[in-house]
Amino acid sequence: MKKPELLAPAGNLEKLKMAFLYGADAAYLGGKAYGLRAFNDNFSEDEIAEAVAFAHNLNKKVYVTVNIFPHNEDLAGLPEYIRQLDRIGVDGLIIADAGVFRIAREAAPELPIHVSTQANNTNWSSVLFWQNLGVRRVVLARELSLEEIREIRSHVQLELEAFVHGAMCISYSGRCLMSNYFTGRDANRGECTQSCRWKYHLMEETRPGEFYPVLEDERGTYIFNSKDLCLLPHIPDLVNSGLNSFKVEGRMKSVHYVATVVKVYREAIDSFLQDPAHYTVRPEWLAELQKISHRDYTTGFVFGKTTHQDQIYWSKSYLQTHDFIGLVREYDAARGWAVVEQRNNMKIGEEIEIVQPGKPPFVQTLSAMTDQAGNSIAVAPHPQQIVMLPVSQPIVPYAMLRRKVVKPSDE
């Protein structure tokens, strides 16, 4: 049984490091141009080089998105950019457009090519087409069932990748025109405004300014808003389908999201491969996925076509049970104290949970705290404030501190 790759999103260098430290085998990221997440931090060429060096030192991989649908003006500088990525040593390009594929083949003939989910590969013949052109991997369309994935695998030899967790898109394989129509920002060129998450009302042409809810709800309706994908309970089916890579969506999500999802899927995949006959989905894994910001979960298309039950019509409905409040920078084993970078207001007396790679979370009370000068403080209110605090168990750098929220957020 071949071990599938766990592929994590990396919106910036910190998220990439967290993804690898919490168990990802590979990460995908975008440069400052040519990718579909223009509003994310993204990576300069120097940062891509640093990311690749960090990954390769851990025997892990980095793939770079070049997956816009470019117009003529978007091609300026593309060949040299691809040559530079090749010199840096990235492990693959993720492309969606045949023109970009042609340029990549000329600019860097040996650089592995992955065909993006945006390319809408929904059948074995289209995947075989890319295989015959020398593509290393195809990222399958999200609209496929497990049965269809198995059939594709039976016809092709190249690597297959599919999304297993994260946000779903209203548009077929992510080919969205709504953002461009409403705002002039082209989702297919990296500027998606996520207009599928907006609240909508109905207005009749002869009665401008009179807005009517599309459903019987005075707050309006989110008619395009999908639940989030979560295939954690179906790891055995995914492994047995012949997929080579399990992809997590979320380059614009938080450090807490990336680390938590990766940690959970890492543990689940390893547990199944270690003992397939006795594999069970642990309740603590599912509980962990409730602690991050998410929408209600769905299995998407893997067991058939979606229905109204896979949509959320009444709100944006972001849920989470815990707030991310700090990231550990150092740990003083002799003293039992940690140096923490604050990410959310935290106070003495609060019960906090500490999460770190390869170990179960533990809970303790925040009993003391000092600033960098060693002065005792009762609260850390400033973003990215450096504080020191005692911890009840040994921890490692990049451990996360979080706090239970009284009520799930609705962002």
Domain boundaries, the chain: 5-172+225-310, 322-404
Amino acid of residue 161: E
Amino acid of residue 236: P
Contact yes or no for 63/43 (Cβ under 8 A): no
Distance, CA of 389 to CA of 347 (rounded, Å): 11
Q: Is the pLDDT of residue 352 over 80?
A: yes
- Between these two residues, 71 and 410, which has the higher pLDDT value? 71
- The DSSP output letter for 373 is T
Residue 191: per-residue pLDDT:
66
Query: Is it true that domain 5-172+225-310 has CATH number 3.90.550.10?
Result: no
Q: Is the pLDDT of residue 57 over 90?
A: yes
Contact yes or no for 309/339 (Cβ under 8 A): no
| pLDDT tens digits along 193-227 | 666 656 666 677 777 777 665 554 444 455 566 77
- Choice among 36-45, 182-191, 295-304, 399-408 with the minimum mean pLDDT: 182-191
Residue 406: per-residue pLDDT:
65
Q: pTM value? A: 0.84
Residue 212: per-residue pLDDT:
60
Residue 178: per-residue pLDDT:
63
95 pLDDT tier (thresholds 50, 70, 90): very high
Please, what is the average pLDDT of the chain?
Answer: 87
CATH node for 322-404: 2.40.30.10
Residue 209: per-residue pLDDT:
77
Q: Is the pLDDT of residue 192 over 50?
A: yes
Please list, residue by residue across 381-397, b when 16 or more beta carbons sit within 10 angstroms of its beta carbon and e when fewer do.
eeeebebbbebeeebee
Q: Is the pLDDT of residue 379 over 50?
A: yes
Q: Does this chain's domain 5-172+225-310 share its CATH topology with 322-404?
A: no
Amino acid of residue 124: W
A 10 A CB-CB count for 18 gives: 27
Residue 33: per-residue pLDDT:
77
Residue 408: per-residue pLDDT:
45
